[in-house]
Amino acid sequence: MPASLRPASSSTSSGTLRPSTSSTCERRSTLRVGIIGGGLGGLTLGQILHTAHNVEATVYERSVDSIDRLFGYRVMISSFVLKKLRPLLRKNVWEKVVASVGVQPESGQELAFMKSDGQRMFTYDAEEVRDTYSISRWAMRKALLHDSDGFVRFGKTFKKYENMPDGTVKVYFVDGTTAGCDMLIGADGISSKVRKQLVPEARVTEPGLAVIYFKIPLTRATKELLPADSGAMAFCPSNQNIIFHSWMNPRKLFATVYDEFDIGTDESFIMFGYGSPCSEFFNKTKPPSKLSSEELKSEVVARARSDPNMSPNIVALAEQCIVNTAYLQIVQECQAIRKWSSPSNNVTLIGDAVFNIATMLGKGANCAMLDATDLASTLILPRMLYPSMRRPELRSLTQDNIRRRLRERHRNNLIQNLVYFGDGNRLKEYGRDKGLKMALGWIDDPRAKDFYSARH
């Protein structure tokens, strides 16, 4: 990690987040912010706001404890977002965030595309890819939960909200309790209940694609089996693909605590993802979502072995998937929202609650954390204590959020559509291979630096 991202020797600049305010009859002494959802975006927002004495933030998470709903894996975060996050977090929290960052390849990250036999086709190594870091999702979330007892409430499942006559928001939970706030933030993911009430016309659809994820222990032996030093995607028959990406713990480079069923949460690992149309599942005895962890491992191993051209190294990696790390992602797509508003402009959204971004370029978590830092930097402003001044700020922020996410959705959807264009047809596969390389060159333009470059 560059020196600029290492923990500072002095305290963070959280003091700059405590502005003084003048008093008028309209001014509120404290801005109460309710955040629905304790994922990376919601916790980032909560941690930043927790440092400001003019904001009282509470994160409401439906899980009954701090165990992550998704068993870890990794996310990609740009150095630009990390640098933006650093001065906004308390020093002890930032130090733990740094510890979640994996060992960076010498030349930065890249994504190699290849055939199932291991023959490399081309590599996507644009600056925005090289400039990102592989981060353990489990370790990052653990870091953002550090010293959070004062602002995170577990076991609180959101039911609905109500705009009150005095301009505040009343939040209702499934357990029958309620809470009041001046601003409600939906950070509850693609199936957001906040968005469903705020923008009821937004629909979530399933394009018929699924990815089976596993962790594989990163050892000296499995590292030698990897098709690339960084990320890689292998195209397989019947419109399928396998993606690999690793997270190497800088304090313990190789995994030692694991067996065929489990692996330690701090162990270095390879993320293995087998993507395909749902119709291509070998096991048709039940819907993909009903398959057990053991059945999902049998599925990926059977697919890998069924391809006569499959690289033996890839088959060997599939055979080493850790059973209890299985996670099936049924790909979903939320209708893009062009705008939203509430009667008092006191309800807004961040992350996938706005609308999701396809995972092809790994931008989802990066965008969510950027949403959170931008919103937090606005909410701590002294003028946000005045409701009439809050509305234009939030409208402007909302439009910036939507523009950013629309651009990334268009880029990622283009790549996803091409990745799944083969359809088992050799002519289409040829078009996919040629078109994908051209598309990656087309999306790699200077405007990408607007949101992801460390030189922003």
Amino acid (one-letter) located at 298: S
CB 244 within 8 A of CB 177: no
The whole-number pLDDT of residue 306 equals: 96
Q: Give all strands of the β-sheet with 169-173 in edge-to-edge order.
A: 158-163, 169-173, 178-181
- Supply the pLDDT for residue 170: 96
pTM for the structure as a whole: 0.86
For the chain, the maximum distance between any two Cα atoms, rounded to a whole number of angstroms, is: 76
**pLDDT confidence of residue 17:** 37
In this structure, the strands spanning 209-217 and 347-349 are unpaired
Q: Given this chain, do its domains 28-66+145-203+335-420 and 101-136+208-330+425-446 carry the same CATH topology? A: no
> In the chain, where are the structural domains located?
28-66+145-203+335-420, 101-136+208-330+425-446
pLDDT digits (tens, 9 = 90+) for 333-367: 888 887 776 666 789 999 999 988 877 777 888 88
Give me 37's structure tokens: 């959802």
User: Is 229 exposed, middle or buried, given 0-12, 13-18 or 19+ CB atoms closer than 10 A?
Assistant: middle
Neighbours of 62 (CB within 10 A): 17
- Say what the pLDDT of residue 193 is: 96
Q: How many CB atoms lie within 10 A of CB 262?
A: 15
pLDDT of residue 372: 95
Within the chain, which residues score under 70 in pLDDT? 1-27, 65-72, 341-344, 422-424, 444-456
CATH class belonging to 101-136+208-330+425-446: alpha beta
Alpha helices in 127-259 (DSSP H): 127-130, 137-144, 193-198, 220-225
Q: How far apart are the C-alpha atoms of 42 and 155, rounded to whole Å?
A: 15
Q: Are 28 and 182 in contact (CB under 8 A)?
A: yes
Q: Return the pLDDT at 409.
A: 82
Report whether 236 contacts 315 (CB < 8 A): no
The residue whose two tokens read 């199932």 is 116
**CATH code for the structural domain at 28-66+145-203+335-420:** 3.50.50.60
* Alpha carbon separation from 346 to 41, 186, 317, 351, 388 (Å, rounded): 18, 11, 49, 17, 11
pLDDT of residue 428: 78
